[in-house]
Structure formats: structure tokens, C-alpha cells
Amino acid sequence: MSSNAETLDATVLPPRGETTRARWWRYLKRDKKALGGLIVLVVLVVTALFADYIAPYDPNAMDYDMIGEPSLAHPLGTDDLGRDLLSRLIHGTQVSLFVGLSTVAIALVAGVLMGVAAGYFGGWIDHIIMRYIDLQWAFPNFIIAVYLVAVFGTGLSNVIVAVSLAFLDDFARIARGMVLSIKEEQYVAAARVVGCSNWRIMWRHILPNATAPLIVQATVSVSYAILAEASLSFLGLGVEADTPTWGLILADARSFISRAWWLGVYPGVAIMITVLAINFLGDTLRDILDVREAKDVGH
């Protein structure tokens, strides 16, 4: 019985006095999928930052004499216009990561503002905000994004705004739920007694204690945002036609999938690997930040 308890403490419960960095590395060493996901994301970020130097060709340069299968000159082949597929995929990393991070950042800020206000003040403010969130919750996020792009028009900035608005309800619900559970704590009541303003209580005492689930949701939402951008571009509702994105490359490959398999396989694999890497890392991040799980096991 004692050996089982020692094994449980070594694998689940964090050691006393363990720093956040040490806890990260302990989980990463134990979960090889998360470690692989982190490595993939680091490679993708470096590729996006230095795409102009890594890509062997201009992503929009056309060479009608080099249309064909993968070769030494073009390792991943070229499309129907003679554009190097590897260069387009490398530059597409910039767009995909930028859309994923920027949309989640906007949705996080807007959703947290709405959720904290609704949970803290309650009353008619909570009623108005949550009825809007309930209305948005009734529709799939992608359908909302398609509708907003149809209203605002195509383009990178419009795609970012549309996807951000489609995802903010998730953050608003999480923020409101955390505020409702935290605002009755004794330290919040003490802050009211000493005369702290509502703004200070919300942003200095309540929100810092509600960040863990928001961080996990933000990590997972990045992969959803990348998929949403790729899907919108695939349907012709995304970025401009001359912008190299993974979804747009897939859309261009539809007419040639039986004759040029490489046009559709490589961008699809890039999307799959990126989403899997983010999801693997998000799962481990949830375990690291979920201190309640460790407490429950300890009891």
C-alpha cells in the first residue's frame, strides 16, 4: 500500500516547493506527445519569423517551364502556375500563426471583459451580456464566422475580426463562471472592506485567480482559429487570392487532385501537424494548471 502511495506521489502530485518551470519540465518529460508538440511549434514559429530567408523562392513567382512533380529544384513540386509549393507553405505558416494568435488575443480580451463584467456586477448587465452570449452559443462558431465574412467582406483583417467575434463567447462564459465562484471569497470581501474600487478588485484580485482555465482555452482556440482560417480560405471566403495560405493552397489543388497529388497532400499535412501539436501542448498545459486535480487526488 505504501509503495502505491509513493508511486502516486511521484507521478501525479507535484513535489513541495516545485517551481512552475520545474513542473513544466516534469510534465513534458513524462508526456512525449506534449514535448513533440512544443518542438513542432518552436520550428513553426522560427519558420514564420524567418520565412523570407528560409523559402527558396518567392511564393508568388511563376515559372511555367517548371510545372511538375517534386524534384531537386522544387522538393515539394510546383502548382499549376509554376509556383514553388515549399515556398508557399513556408510563407503560409506566417499567415496561419498570425491569424491563430491574433484572433485568440482579440477574442480573449473581448470575452474576458464581457464575462468579468457580467459575473461581477450581475443584474441587468449580466442579463444583457449573457442573453447575447446564449444567442451566439446557439450557432456553430464556423457558421458565425462565415456569416460575418459575408457581411464584412473577404481579406485578412476581416477574417481575423470574424473569427474573433465567433470565438469570444467561449471566453466570456469561462470568465463569468470563474468570477461567480471567486467574488464571494474572503479576500475579495476584505478588499471591499478596505475600500478598493470595483475595477481594482476585478483586475487585481479576481482575474489573476481565474487565468488558468482561460489560458488553456486560449491555447486550444489557436488550433480552432487556424482551422477556421483554412476552411474560410478553402471556401473562397478568406484572404486575397495572392496571399499564400494553407487553406488557399488546398482550394487551388481541388482541380488537380487526381493529376497532382502533392498540391493537396502537403498543405493538409501541415494543417494536421500544427493542430495536433497545439492540442497536445494544450492538454499538458491543462494538467499543469489544474491544481484542483492534484488536490482531489491527494484527499
Per-residue pLDDT of the chain (299 residues; tens, 9 = 90+): 444 444 334 444 445 555 556 666 776 677 778 788 889 999 999 999 999 899 888 888 887 766 677 888 888 888 878 888 899 999 999 988 998 899 999 999 999 999 988 888 888 988 999 999 988 888 888 888 888 888 888 888 888 888 898 888 889 998 998 888 887 777 777 877 787 787 888 888 788 878 888 888 888 889 889 988 888 888 888 787 778 888 888 888 887 777 788 888 889 999 999 999 998 888 877 777 764 443 343 33
Give the chain's largest Cα–Cα span: 77
- The whole-number pLDDT of residue 93 equals 92
Cα dist from 220 to 134, 155, 254, whole Å: 21, 24, 29
Going from N- to C-terminal start, the domains of the chain cover 23-51+77-292
For Cα atoms 183, 207, 131, give the angle at the middle one, nearest 5 degrees. 70
Question: What is the model's pTM?
Answer: 0.80
Q: What pLDDT shows up at residue 21?
A: 63
Closest residue by Cα to residue 110 from 189, 54, 165: 165
pLDDT of residue 111: 92
- Which of 104, 95, 79 has the alpha carbon at shortest distance from 239? 95
CATH fold group of domain 23-51+77-292: MetI-like fold (1.10.3720)
